[in-house]
């Protein structure tokens, strides 16, 4: 079993109804890109892929707003061969929490993936228990499975039969411009000026302005 850790106790202390907001203003001439928010974790296993989580078109001279809370979810997708720019192709999203709906089974029935019912497991973690029926590496029907937040995917791994994938979520939020759609696998090398958001001291709102050479960010 691989564990992907994000210091879950901090998220538990905040509570799932905690509200965040980010405003991104494009004060540059950058066109043809979208503003996006993604989550990342240092020392993440190589088979865990980061997805473009929240994405909106942001033309020069305009601004867009992003809003979310700490409500987690399980996701699976139809793509098994994941690389930057490939969309994981969401197939199912099931609401979860870190207390009593934090374990789920993934099945493969009649040529299709399907989540089972959520169960209670270790507090502070999210775990996907993949059935022996699930297609794995070398199988053309391999998919991916992972977790998300506010109804959209954030991290996925390729499916493997009889394998338990555990996530200990503590999100690190990043902003950037890029040519990605929501659900695409992302790579910072393919982004324009990725910048980590540093929410601290009870601040949950960020106002981010991009001038073409970097970001100016204020928090409240």
pLDDT in the model for residue 43: 64
User: Quick one: average pLDDT of 71-85?
Assistant: 96
- List b or e across 14-29, with b for residues whose CB sees 16 or more CB atoms inside 10 angstroms: eebeeebebbbbbebe
pLDDT in the model for residue 42: 60
pLDDT in the model for residue 9: 40
pLDDT in the model for residue 8: 41
Where is pLDDT greater, at 43 or 66? 66
**Interatomic CA distance for residues 12 and 30, integer angstroms:** 38
**Interatomic CA distance for residues 214 and 210, integer angstroms:** 6
Collapsed DSSP state (helix, strand, coil) of residue 179: coil
Task: Give backbone dihedrals phi and psi of 11, rounded to 5 degrees, phi first.
Answer: -65, -40
- Which of 214, 217, 215, 193 is CA-nearest to residue 205? 217
Report field, pTM of the whole predicted structure over 0.85? yes
User: Quick one: average pLDDT of 137-145?
Assistant: 97
Where is pLDDT greater, at 168 or 70? 70
**Interatomic CA distance for residues 68 and 70, integer angstroms:** 7
Confidence label for 45 from pLDDT (cuts 50, 70 and 90): confident
Confidence label for 79 from pLDDT (cuts 50, 70 and 90): very high
**Interatomic CA distance for residues 63 and 56, integer angstroms:** 10
Q: What percent of the chain shows pLDDT beyond 90?
A: 84
**Interatomic CA distance for residues 37 and 204, integer angstroms:** 15
Q: Which residues contact 201 (CB under 8 A, 6 or more apart)?
A: none
- Which of 170, 99, 171, 157 is CA-nearest to residue 128? 157
pLDDT in the model for residue 10: 64
User: Quick one: average pLDDT of 192-218?
Assistant: 95
């Amino acid at each position: 079993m691989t564990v992907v850790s994000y210091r879950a106790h901090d998220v538990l202390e905040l509570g799932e109804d905690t509200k965040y907001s980010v405003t991104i203003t494009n004060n540059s001439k950058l066109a043809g890109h979208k503003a996006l928010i993604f989550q990342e974790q240092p020392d993440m296993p190589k088979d865990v892929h980061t997805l473009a989580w929240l994405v909106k078109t942001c033309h020069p001279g305009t601004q867009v707003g992003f809003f979310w809370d700490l409500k987690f979810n399980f996701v699976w997708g139809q793509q098994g061969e994941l690389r930057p720019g490939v969309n994981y192709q969401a197939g199912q999203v099931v609401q979860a929490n870190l207390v009593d709906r934090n374990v789920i089974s993934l099945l493969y029935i009649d040529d299709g993936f399907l989540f089972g019912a959520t169960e209670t497991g270790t507090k502070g973690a999210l775990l996907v228990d993949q059935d022996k029926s699930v297609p794995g590496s070398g199988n053309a029907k391999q998919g991916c499975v992972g977790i998300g937040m506010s109804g959209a995917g954030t991290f996925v791994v390729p499916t493997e039969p009889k394998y338990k994938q555990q996530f200990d979520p503590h999100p690190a939020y990043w902003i950037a411009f890029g040519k990605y759609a929501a659900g695409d696998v992302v790579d910072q090398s393919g982004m324009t000026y990725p910048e980590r958001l540093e929410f601290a001291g009870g601040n949950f709102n960020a106002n981010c302005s991009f001038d073409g050479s970097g970001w100016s960010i204020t928090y409240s």
